[in-house]
Amino acid sequence: MIEWTQGVRRIGVLTGAGISTDSGIPDFRGPDGLWTKDPSLAEAFTYNRFMNDGEVRKRFWAAYSGNSAWSAKPNAAHRALAELDRPGMALRVLTQNIDGLHQRAGLAARKVLELHGSMHQAVCTKCEATTPGADVIARVHAGEPEPACKDCGGILKLAIVLFGEYLNGDVLDQSKQIAAASQLFLAIGTTLEVEPAASLCAVAVAAGANLVIINRDPTPYDRIATEVIREPIGTAVPRICAEIMAGASG
């Protein structure tokens, strides 16, 4: 029995790229990552460059149309978190991922806060009309290298936060409230190097939560964690979720 899993009702979970690698989505910065293989691609993910250069947009859409995330399925860790969401449990997932796999695993959309947006929606930067991300990718595959808004001809962009763009203020405020209200705050598969998402750990600890970090590599927040777990996410998260459920009913 692990003490911090007992009697927990309010759980905040912060997830990063590491939770999705078992679903076949490479960590952008990891050894098989997009930017490791082609560092110049980072330019295509920079807001000003994307908005001002059609060639950059073509590179963005070409890179994204081949992204394995479009066909990825939730893995054991996503499923275990979705199963943890049951009556009497207040669970919220704050994710740095844009892949939508928490929702695909069965977690209600309102319980998932997407800090960096979602690749499953595209938005027109001119008229703000939204359209499914997969529909835009289908147009790329059908031979449109740089699809424009069908309503107004404006530049289409995936609803993700590019370099040089701010995070959604409402999502960030809500995330801080969730971190501050949590009894247990789990940070899973994130290096905790990207702010302001990472400092949510400090918010949770300052408010009295137990912080548990599950990540392969050390993070800047390890020293304030109740426990740091190096076990693979695919086994650690289902094990912890089972302990929490057992500890809630006892």
The residues binding Zn ion (CB under 5 A) are 124, 126-127, 129, 149, 151-152, 154
Closest distance of CB 132 from Zn ion, Å: 15
Return the number of the residue (124 or 205) whose C-beta is nearest Zn ion. Answer: 124
Omega within 30 of 0 (cis) for the link into 31: no
Length of the chain, in residues: 250
Name the residues annotated as catalytic: 116
Return the number of the residue (72 or 129) whose C-beta is nearest Zn ion. Answer: 129
Task: Count Cβ atoms below 10 Å from residue 44 Cβ, excluding itself.
Answer: 23
Return the number of the residue (78 or 157) whose C-beta is nearest Zn ion. Answer: 157
Closest distance of CB 111 from Zn ion, Å: 30
Closest distance of CB 130 from Zn ion, Å: 10
Closest distance of CB 152 from Zn ion, Å: 3
Task: Identify the sign of the CA torsion 90, 240, 221, 69.
Answer: negative
Return the number of the residue (126 or 239) whose C-beta is nearest Zn ion. Answer: 126
Closest distance of CB 189 from Zn ion, Å: 35
Return the number of the residue (134 or 152) whose C-beta is nearest Zn ion. Answer: 152
